[in-house]
Structure 1
Amino acid sequence: MKQNNRKGWQPIAVILLFLICWQLSIKIWKIEPWLLPGPIAIFKEGIKSYDSLIPHIISTINLTIVGLLIGSILGLLIAFLLHLIPGVKEAFYPLLILSQNVPIIVLAPLLIIWFGFGVFPKLIIITLVCFFPITVSALDGFRQTPSGLMNYMKMAGASKLQIFWKVELPFSLPSIFSGLKISATYSVMGAVISEWLGAKSGIGVYMTLASSSFRTDRVFVSIFVIMFLSMLFFIIIAIIERYTVKWKIKGAKQK
């Protein structure tokens, strides 16, 4: 336990060292604040603009949560269909891969043209960013089911659906949660990109206004908020995984 606690401080130490080097390099080379503000200046600006920043953060969080939920459900449904229906995976899996080769920043203006400036095109963008990692992770998890257990279920006369719900799905949960953690971090990015294209509030709007007025410190405040939200969603999914896949954690501890 003590060793795990010590390891937990290593990332924090690296981040603090990076911020100290950043602050010292600005003083040594006398870099102008409008070009690259220091961590202290960014922190002060974050506190100063707290009241005006909070509504944007809440808007982005709400949009991210809804988009992540839709993307997660869609990703799991697609994985279930590809796995359970014979021939569907071979036909549609290449199309899923091709869908990820279209840059979101290029597709987003088209969605605005087709569906307007409402919430719907923004949710589409977040969903497109989120569903693919979940689908791929779930399909990989289904393939990792022990063959011996599969053969035992077939010998016992279990149907394909019974094998799926009682064996394949439980064994794929660690892989599914891995995809969820990736999608959780991507969802914030997708929300910010969607806000760039037209929104009344959100971190993307705040960042656009700061960039157009050459407020580099506020741009960095936005970047740090995005990083914090991405890490927060990642940690929430990891906590849910810890209490959902207890058998996997117990097995890892025994090893």
Structure 2
Amino acid sequence: MAELTEVRAVPAVVPARRRKGGGSAAAVGLPALGLVVALTVWWLVTSVFNLIHPVVLPPPQDVLSAFNAASARLLEATLATTLETVIGFLLSTVAGVLIGLALASSRLVERMFSPLLVAINAVPKIALGPLLVVSLGWGQKPILTMVFLLCFFPIVLSTATGLTSTPADLAELARSLDASRWQAFRKVRLPAALPQIFVGLKVAMPLAAIGAVIGEFQAGEGGLGYEIVQTSGVGDSATAWAAIILIALMSIVLYFALVLIERLALPWVRETTSSR
């Protein structure tokens, strides 16, 4: 039997060479420009035109002052929330990929459990918070469970979709080479499904941060969600908004770290897809 090599699709037309210098400058400059525009609008709305009451949305300079005053506490809370987000995301990734693999491997399993998974995903997760506290207590267990419940479904869906949508020509090639089921999975189906799986992972990553914060609202003894509850409860909206901004920054860093992992793990994807 001819040896079956791992899938690496070759584009029919060689894409135009990217302008590395201009692309790198745009990758840094455009987000920085967007940040400047957002901060300017925020400052105009809250400080110049006074369209929003400071209790609802403090001016950026007040938020910066609040961060400087409580920077040690907020950074410690950021570390705690980041760890909860990453751990919960990794747990949901393992479980989601395994469940997606089970759904893709058997039509019977898919028909039996797909409605159940949809029903679980449809339940408002914030409504489960008090129940998780009662059953799991305070601390990380209910928080990690909330992260898992929020972000595992996109991973399951993308994994099952990717594994069941192998290009017909690649599947036929595996059969023509008399590949075993394991060889076809390892060298054809899984590599072809990886881009789709990463789509689900990128959808799930921000949801993991949301789940961690919701869990901290309900059962946290620390973290950024806990800080938001404590500071907003005493009218310190500037510190609460500083924590909200840290959540946003944390989510951006984790998301683009995942994008970098995808580019390193799947170098052929950028060469076989159109660029804008």
State the TM-score bracket (shorter-chain normalisation).
over 0.9
Give the corresponding residue for 2:44: 24
Give the corresponding residue for 2:68: 47
Give the corresponding residue for 1:212: 233
Provide the C-alpha distance between the structure 2 equivalents of 1:254 and 1:220, rounded to a whole number of angstroms.
Answer: 37
Give 1:56 shift. Answer: 1.0
Give the corresponding residue for 1:101: 122
Task: Give the TM-score of the pair, scaled to structure 2.
Answer: 0.86
Provide the C-alpha distance between the structure 1 equivalents of 2:242 and 2:158, rounded to a whole number of angstroms.
Answer: 33
Higher deviation after alignment, 6-15 or 202-211? 6-15
Identity score, percent:
29
Give the corresponding residue for 2:182: 161
Give the corresponding residue for 1:125: 146
Give 1:160 shift. Answer: 2.6
List per-residue Cα deviations over 1:53-107 (Å, max 9, x = no partner): 1221111111111111100000000011111134111221122111111011001
Flag the 1:44–1:254 CA change in 2: closer, same or farther, 3 A.
Answer: closer
Provide the C-alpha distance between the structure 1 equivalents of 2:163 and 2:236, rounded to a whole number of angstroms.
Answer: 49
Provide the C-alpha distance between the structure 2 equivalents of 1:254 and 1:23, rounded to a whole number of angstroms.
Answer: 35
Which of 211, 231, 235 aligns to 2:256? It is 235
- Describe the SS at the equivalent of 2:174: helix
Task: Say if 2:63 and 2:241, in contact at 8 Å, map to a contact too.
Answer: yes
- Describe the SS at the equivalent of 2:219: coil
Letter in 2 for 1:23: W
**Aligned Cα root-mean-square deviation (Å):** 1.9
Superposition misfits of 4+ residues, deviation over 4 angstroms: none
Give 1:199 shift. Answer: 2.1
Q: Number of residues paired by the alignment?
A: 255
Matched, 1:150 2:171: yes
Give the corresponding residue for 1:61: 82
Provide the C-alpha distance between the structure 1 equivalents of 2:69 and 2:139, rounded to a whole number of angstroms.
Answer: 31
Provide the C-alpha distance between the structure 2 equivalents of 1:90 and 1:76, rounded to a whole number of angstroms.
Answer: 18
More helix by share: 1
Give 1:29 shift. Answer: 3.1
Task: Give the TM-score of the pair, scaled to structure 1.
Answer: 0.93
Unpaired runs of 5+ residues, structure 2, are 1-18
Which of 109, 113, 116 aligns to 1:88? It is 109
Give 1:11 shift. Answer: 3.5
Task: Say if 1:46 and 1:218, in contact at 8 Å, map to a contact too.
Answer: yes
Flag the 1:45–1:199 CA change in 2: closer, same or farther, 3 A.
Answer: same
Letter in 2 for 1:139: A
Which of 190, 212, 216 aligns to 1:195? It is 216
Task: Say if 1:45 and 1:217, in contact at 8 Å, map to a contact too.
Answer: yes
- Describe the SS at the equivalent of 1:197: helix
Task: Say if 1:186 and 1:230, in contact at 8 Å, map to a contact too.
Answer: no
Letter in 1 for 2:48: I
Provide the C-alpha distance between the structure 2 equivalents of 1:115 and 1:92, rounded to a whole number of angstroms.
Answer: 26
Give the corresponding residue for 1:175: 196
Give 1:157 shift. Answer: 2.4
Task: Say if 2:163 and 2:190, in contact at 8 Å, map to a contact too.
Answer: yes
